[in-house]
Amino acid sequence: MLSRDSQSSDNQISVSDSINEATMYLMQTMPKLRMIGLGVNDPKSIFGTTRNLLEKFGKERVMDFPTSENAMLGYTIGLAINGIPSISVHQRFDFLLLAMDQLVNNAAKWYYMFGSRQSVPIVIRVIVGKGWGQGPTHSQSFHAWLSHVPGLKVVMPHDVQSAYDLLIKSVYDPNPVVYIEHRWIHDQLGSLSRSNAILDPDFRLTPTSNVEIVGKPAVTVVTFSYTTTRVKSLYKNLQRLGVGIEHVILETIKPYDLDSIKKSIDRTGALLVLDFAPSSNSFAKEIVAQLVLSGGTSLVKAPRILSHPDIIEPTSFFLTKNLYFNDRIIFEEIVTLAGFDISDPIFQDEQVMIERRLEEFPHDVPNSYFKGPF
Do the domains 209-358 and 12-191 match in fold?
Answer: yes
Residues 167 and 344: beta-carbon distance below 8 Å: no
Does the structure show a pLDDT above 60 at 160?
yes
Pick the closest to residue 100 from 48, 152, 51, 61 (CA basis): 152
Residues 1-15: tens digit of each pLDDT: 343 343 344 589 999
Q: 220 falls in which pLDDT band (50, 70, 90)?
A: very high
Domain ranges of the chain: 12-191, 209-358
Query: Does the predicted TM-score (pTM) go above 0.75?
Result: yes
Q: Residues near 68 by Cβ (< 8 Å), separated by ≥ 6?
A: none
pLDDT, tens digit (0-9, with 9 covering 90-100), for 312-368: 999 999 999 989 999 999 999 999 999 999 888 889 889 999 999 998 888 888 877
Q: H helices within the chain, ranges in order?
A: 15-29, 45-48, 53-57, 69-80, 93-96, 100, 110-113, 143-147, 160-172, 226-232, 235-241, 258-268, 283-293, 317-320, 327-337, 345-358
Superfamily of domain 12-191: Thiamin diphosphate (ThDP)-binding fold, Pyr/PP domains (3.40.50.970)
Give the span between the Cα atoms of 266 and 317, in whole angstroms. 42
> What is the CATH architecture of 209-358?
3-Layer(aba) Sandwich (3.40)
How many other C-beta atoms are found inside a 10 Å radius of the C-beta of residue 109?
16
Output the CA angle 297-300-301, nearest 5 degrees.
Answer: 120
pLDDT category at 373 given cuts 50, 70, 90 is low
- The burial class, CB within 10 Å (0-12 / 13-18 / 19+), for 83 is exposed
Question: Mind listing the pLDDT tens digit for each residue in 43-74?
Answer: 888 989 999 999 999 999 999 998 889 999 99
